[in-house]
Amino acid sequence: MKYTALVPVKSLKEAKSRLAAHLTPEQRANLMLDMLYHVLLTLQESQMFDHISVVSADPRVLQKAQCWNAQPLVEAQAGHNPALTAAALHELQQGATALLTISADLPLLQVHDVQQLVDTSKFYDVVIASSQDGSGTNALLTRPPLALPYLFGINSRYRHQHEAERLNLRCSIQSSLGLALDIDTIDDVTAFQRYEYAHPQRARC
H or E element, residue 171: strand 171-174
Q: What is the pLDDT of residue 146?
A: 96
Per residue in 23-51, pLDDT tens? 788 888 888 999 999 999 999 999 999 99
Provide the terminal-to-terminal Cα distance of the chain, rounded to the nearest Å: 32
CATH classification number, 3-11+18-198, choose in 3.40.50.300, 3.90.550.10, 3.50.50.60, 3.40.50.620: 3.90.550.10
Rounded-to-integer distance, Cα 41 and Cα 63, Å? 16
Q: What is the pLDDT of residue 205?
A: 39
> What is the pTM assigned to this prediction?
0.90
Alpha-carbon torsion (175, 178, 183, 186), positive or negative: positive
Q: What is the pLDDT of residue 202?
A: 45
Q: Which of 182, 164, 186 is nearest to 173 (CA)?
A: 164
CA-to-CA dists, residue 188 to 113, 139, 195, angstroms: 19, 18, 11
Cβ atoms 137, 153 nearer than 8 A: no
At 127, phi and psi to the nearest 5?
-125, 125
Domain spans of the chain?
Answer: 3-11+18-198
User: pLDDT tens string for the chain (205 positions)?
Assistant: 899 999 999 998 877 666 666 778 888 888 899 999 999 999 999 999 999 999 999 999 999 999 999 999 999 888 999 999 999 999 999 999 999 999 999 999 999 999 999 999 999 999 999 998 899 999 999 999 999 999 999 999 999 999 999 999 999 999 899 999 887 666 666 666 655 654 455 434 3
Rounded-to-integer distance, Cα 189 and Cα 116, Å? 25
Q: What is the pLDDT of residue 192?
A: 66
Q: What is the pLDDT of residue 131?
A: 94
